[in-house]
Structure 1
Amino acid sequence: MAYDAEDTKRRIFVAATAEFAEHGLAGARVDRIAAAAKANKQAIYLYYGGKEKLFAAVLRAKLEEIHTAITIDPDAVADSVGQIFDWHQQHPELIRLLLWEALETCDDGIDASEPERRAAYREKVCGLADSVAPHLPEQERVRAAQDLLFTILGLIAWNFAVPGMCRMMLDEESDRAAMARRREAVIAAARRLTAASPVTP
C-alpha cells in the first residue's frame, strides 16, 4: 500500500487537536500524538515543524473552521448567536484551545497569526457595523460593533469554558439541561443587546 502523506497529516491533525484540547501545549506529548495518529514522530516534525507550530496550526484551522461555518446576519443577530452556540456545543475543543493559548502562549500578546485573525474579526465586525448603530459616525459604528461581537462571543464561550459551574449555578441536574437553558438565555440577551441603540458619546 502506497504511503499517503495527506492522510497521515490529517490523522496527525485530528490526534493533535484532541491532545492539545485535553492537555494544552505544555502538557501535550508528541509521542502520544504520534501513537494516536498511527504515525511516527518524525512525520510530525516533517509536516508541522514541532509541537509549538502544530499547536498554532491546529488553533488556526479551528478558528478558520468556525469563521467559514458561521455567518453573522446583521438583520438576525440572535439567530446567528444560536448557530454559534450550537457550533461550540458540537466542537468544544475550540474554547479549550483558546483557554490553553491564553494560559501558555503569547506572553507579549502578539503572535505570527495575529494579523490573519484580526482580519477575520474585522470582516465580521464590518458586517455588523451599519446595522448596530447606523446613526453614529463610521468609527463609532465600528467600535460599537466590535464591543457587541466580543460581548456576544463572551456570553457564548463562558458556558463551554465552565460547564460544571454553569450546571451548579443554574441548579440543573445535567450539563445538557443547563446548556439548553443557557442557549435560550444567550439568544434572548443578544436580542436585547442588538435592540438597544448605543448612546452617542
Structure 2
Amino acid sequence: MSYDAEATRRRIFEAAAAEFAAHGLAGARVERIAAAAKANKQAIYLYFGGKEKLFGAVVRAKVDEVCHSNALDPCAVAESVGQLFDWYQDHPELIRLLLWEALETGAGPVQGEDERRAAYRDNVRDLVDGGVGAGLDEPRRTRAAQDWMFTVLGLVAWNFAVPQLCRLVLDEQDDKAALARRRDAVVSTVRTLAAGRSGDA
C-alpha cells in the first residue's frame, strides 16, 4: 500500500484541531497529536513546520470555514445571523481556539495575521457593497461596516464563549433552552441594528 501524504496531513490537522481546542497552544503535545493522527512527529514538522505554525494553520482554517459557510448578509440579516449562530453551536472548537489564541498571544501578532486581516477586509467590502454605512463618506463607511461586523460576531460568539453565564443569567436549567432563547434574542437585536445602520452619523 502506498503512502498517502494528503490523508496523513488531514489526520494530523483533525487531531491538532481537537488537541489545541482542548489544551491550547502551550498545553498541546505534539506526541498526542501524532498518536491521534496515527502519524509520526516528523510528519508534523515536515508538513506544518512545528507546533506554533500548526496552531496558526488550524485557527486560520476554522475561521475560513465559518466565513465561507456563513456570509453576513445585511439584506437578509435574520437568516444569515441565525445560520451563523447555528454554525457556532455545531462547531464549538472555533471559540475555544480563538480564546486560547487570545490568552496565549495577548496583544502580540498571531500566526498568519496579514492573511487573516486581508480576509476580514474582503468581508467588510462585501458588507459595504451590501449597504452597511450607506450615506457615509469614506473612511467612515468602511469603519461602520467593520464595527457592524465585529458587533454581530460578538453578539453570536459570546454565547459560546461563556455557556455557563448563558445558563445562569437566563436562569435556565437546560443549555439547549438557554441557547434557543439567545438565538432569538441575537437575531432580533441584529435585525434592529441593521434597520438603523444607515442612519449612523
Which bin holds the TM-score, normalised by the shorter protein?
Answer: over 0.9
Deviations 1:57-103 (A, max 9, x none): 11111111112111222211222111111111111111110100000
Deviations 1:136-163 (A, max 9, x none): 1132111111111100100111100011
Deviations 1:111-135 (A, max 9, x none): 4511211111111111222512312
TM-score calculated relative to the size of structure 1: 0.94
Deviations 1:23-50 (A, max 9, x none): 0000101111111111111111111111
Match for 1:16: what amino acid?
A: A
Relative distance call for 1:112 and 1:173 in structure 2 (3 A) is closer
Relative distance call for 1:37 and 1:112 in structure 2 (3 A) is closer
CA contact (8 A) 2:74 2:127 kept: yes
Instruction: Determine if the alignment matches structure 1 residue 180 to structure 2 residue 180.
Output: yes
Distance 1:196 1:185 in 2: 17
Distance 1:177 1:6 in 2: 41
Distance 1:112 1:127 in 2: 24
- Alignment length, in residue pairs? 199
Instruction: Determine if the alignment matches structure 1 residue 128 to structure 2 residue 97.
Output: no
Distance 2:80 2:118 in 1: 20
CA contact (8 A) 1:78 1:188 kept: yes
Match for 2:161: what amino acid?
A: A
SS in 1 for 2:128: helix
CA contact (8 A) 2:70 2:83 kept: yes
SS in 1 for 2:172: coil
Structure 1: runs of 5+ lacking an equivalent: none
SS in 1 for 2:188: helix
CA contact (8 A) 2:74 2:194 kept: no
Match for 1:118: what amino acid?
A: R
TM-score calculated relative to the size of structure 2: 0.94
Distance 2:32 2:111 in 1: 26
Residue 165 of structure 2 corresponds to which residue in structure 1? 165
Match for 1:51: what amino acid?
A: K
% of aligned pairs identical?
66
Dislocated runs of 4+, deviation >4 Å: none
Residue 118 of structure 1 corresponds to which residue in structure 2? 117
Correspondence list, 1:65-104, <5 A: 65-104=65-104
CA contact (8 A) 1:74 1:127 kept: no
Residue 29 of structure 2 corresponds to which residue in structure 1? 29
Distance 1:5 1:13 in 2: 12
SS in 2 for 1:138: coil
RMSD of the alignment, in Å?
A: 1.4
Deviations 1:6-30 (A, max 9, x none): 1111111000000000100001011
